[in-house]
Each structure stands twice: as structure tokens, then as C-alpha cells.
Chain A
Amino acid sequence: EAGVTQFPSHSVIEKGQTVTLRCDPISGHDNLYWYRRVMGKEIKFLLHFVKESKQDESGMPNNRFLAERTGGTYSTLKVQPAELEDSGVYFCASSQRGRTYEQYFGPGTRLTVT
């Protein structure tokens, strides 16, 4: 069974540009989470999808971040326009319905904004 995958693994963009990160959860996992770790800080929750619906987006830092999960499968996280402080590693995780205590993480996308 394939694990959580994320694309790209590394992205370098200039301030003001747009970047879209993609996460493919484990097949059949209804729950999908986005987290990020900015340099020197803790890993922070961004938002949580249950299928295609946003269950909790309390961690989204501002309206430059837009997350979608079309059809309840893969998810995208778009940053537009990117700022220097958006640099960090963005992690995606997924879990089965009823087993939210078992979150499986992807390898992360390292975003560098210059």
C-alpha cells in the first residue's frame, strides 16, 4: 500500500510568486491534514479535511493560503502571493475514518521563498 505522497519535494520561488503544493493521502483515508514547520519553530497545524469538506481551518495563517480537496481525494495548498515568512516544510498527513489517532505523514515539501 502506498503511503502519503507529496509533490514537489522542494520548491524555490521568489517573493510574490504563487506556489501550489500537492498531497495524495493513503487510499481510503477520509481525513487529511496539513501542517507546516517554519525554520526553528514547532510543527504547526494548518487545516483538516474530512473527505472534501474543511473540518477545521483554524491554523491557516492568512488569506494568502488556500487549500482544496477536490472529490475527497488529493489536496492542494496554494500560497499566493508567497512571502519570505512562508518558507518552511509543509507536511501532509492522512488517517482513516474513526482512527484519527493514527496519522500517517508524507515526506513534506520544503518551500523556500527568496
Chain B
Amino acid sequence: AQTVTQSQPEMSVQEAETVTLSCTYDTSESNYYLFWYKQPPSRQMILVIRQEAYKQQNATENRFSVNFQKAAKSFSLKISDSQLGDTAMYFCAFMKFYGNAGNMLTFGGGTRLMVKP
């Protein structure tokens, strides 16, 4: 079974600064996806960024980027130029790669991020 661990229950950052959220995972799979989801106070959870394990290049989406260390089973999220709208709960998640078959997400416990003005 897979496990995902987020060691930082809460974090805060000043607006315009950079923050890094940590995530580690444990799996014996070789092909998988990793995700960061964001859940703002309004509760709708949205996908921030996705990383395929077979890709060595770290994924980037505008101000969001990841540091994927496959050997260390680490998948951190860096938010640059933090904005007030980044205030949310962030979840790291894992999915085994089964091609076209449906599959479930395994989530970490979440990190609550507060961006301060």
C-alpha cells in the first residue's frame, strides 16, 4: 500500500515571498503520478500541478513548481510570489499508473497555508 506524508500541518508566508511545502511518499511502484491539490476556504478542491514519475523534468505551472526526487521519494511544492489567493489547504496525492484503468488517489494529511499581507 502507498502512503503519503505531509510533515507541515500549517505554514505561513508573507505576500510576494516564496514558500515550499514538503511531501514524502512510500511505494514499491515504478510508474505513478504525483499531484498537488489546493482547497481554498470555499472548499472546492482543484488540481495545482501533476508530475509523471517517468519524467525527470520537474513540472511547472506559472508560479507553482515541484522538486521531484524519485530516489528519495520526495515531492515538494514551491509557490513563488505568494498571493493572498494562495491561502488554502494543500494536499499532496499519489496515484498508481494503470493506463486507461480508473484509479484512486492516496492523499497526505494536508498543509494549511496562510499568506499574510
Contacts and interface: CB of A to CB of B under 8 A. Distances in A.
Interface residues of A, number: 29
B interface SS class: loop
A55 B102 contact: yes
Interface size bucket, B side? 20 to 34
Interface in B101-117: 101-110
B45 A50 contact: no
Nearest to B32: A101
B91 A43 contact: yes
A105 B47 CA distance: 9
Nearest to B46: A105
A72 to B, nearest CB: 13
Contacts of B101: 55, 100
A56 B105 contact: no
A91 B104 contact: no
Given A48-B104, A59-B104, A100-B102, A107 B46 contact: no
A7 interface: no
A14 B4 CA distance: 33
Most A CB within 10 A of own CB, among B44, B47, B98, B104? B104
18 contacts: A41-B109, A42-B4, A42-B110, A45-B105, A48-B102, A50-B102, A56-B102, A56-B104, A91-B45, A95-B102, A97-B100, A100-B98, A100-B102, A100-B103, A102-B47, A103-B105, A105-B44, A105-B45
Given A100-B98, A100-B100, 11 more contacts: A33-B102, A44-B107, A45-B104, A45-B105, A56-B102, A95-B102, A98-B100, A101-B50, A103-B47, A105-B45, A107-B42
